[in-house]
Amino acid sequence: MKIKVGFGFDVHQLKAGHPFILGGVHLDHHKGAFGHSDADVLVHAICDALLGAANLGDIGHHFKNTDEQWRGISSLILLKECVKMLKEKGFSINNIDAMLCLEAPKINPHVPAMKKHIALAMNIDEEDISIKATTNETMGFIGREEGVVAYAVCLIQKER
């Protein structure tokens, strides 16, 4: 059995008048993430972790922000495509561990719904997904609510 680890990172600006989507869940907040797709930093970090573990490049390589077919698209669709690419290379996904860094809103009440959406998109158990959140203690662009950051690691495997 071959086991591989992947790491993903994503960051998006927060701007008034934009929806705030994290883990496929629309959060009620006065600012939202700005980007070409739905700017779901959590899902983007997971995509990069998966793609990296399978040596498939990164999310920007497969879903260019200059391609209009991806404008406004749900990042869960991108995640499904990433999972499909892994399966085509013979990999299965063991688990995901993700961390969000933002000042507000509070994430904990939304974690079960996020896990449900991500698990459905990846066709894995919710128990194989961990989502945590922290603040930046009001420091820097995160502390000023100018942006949101997500980190993710994954473990994938394939039979030799």
Q: Say how far apart CA 150 and CA 160 lie, in whole Å.
A: 32
Bridge partners of 21, per DSSP, are 26
Q: Please tell me whether the peptide bond between 19 and the residue prior to it is cis, using omega within 30 degrees of 0.
A: no
List the CATH code of the domain at 2-158: 3.30.1330.50
Q: Where are the domains of the chain?
A: 2-158
Residue 122 near residue 53 (C-beta atoms within 8 A): no
| Cβ proximity of 119 and 153 under 8 Å | no
pLDDT by residue for the chain (160 residues), tens only, comes to: 999 999 999 999 999 999 999 999 999 999 999 988 899 999 999 999 999 999 999 988 888 777 677 777 899 999 999 999 999 999 999 999 999 999 999 999 999 999 999 999 999 999 999 999 999 999 999 999 999 999 999 999 998 7
Going by the annotation, the residues of the binding site are 10-12, 36-37, 44, 58-60, 63-67, 134-137, 141, 144
- Going by the annotation, the residues of the binding site for a divalent metal cation are 10, 12, 44
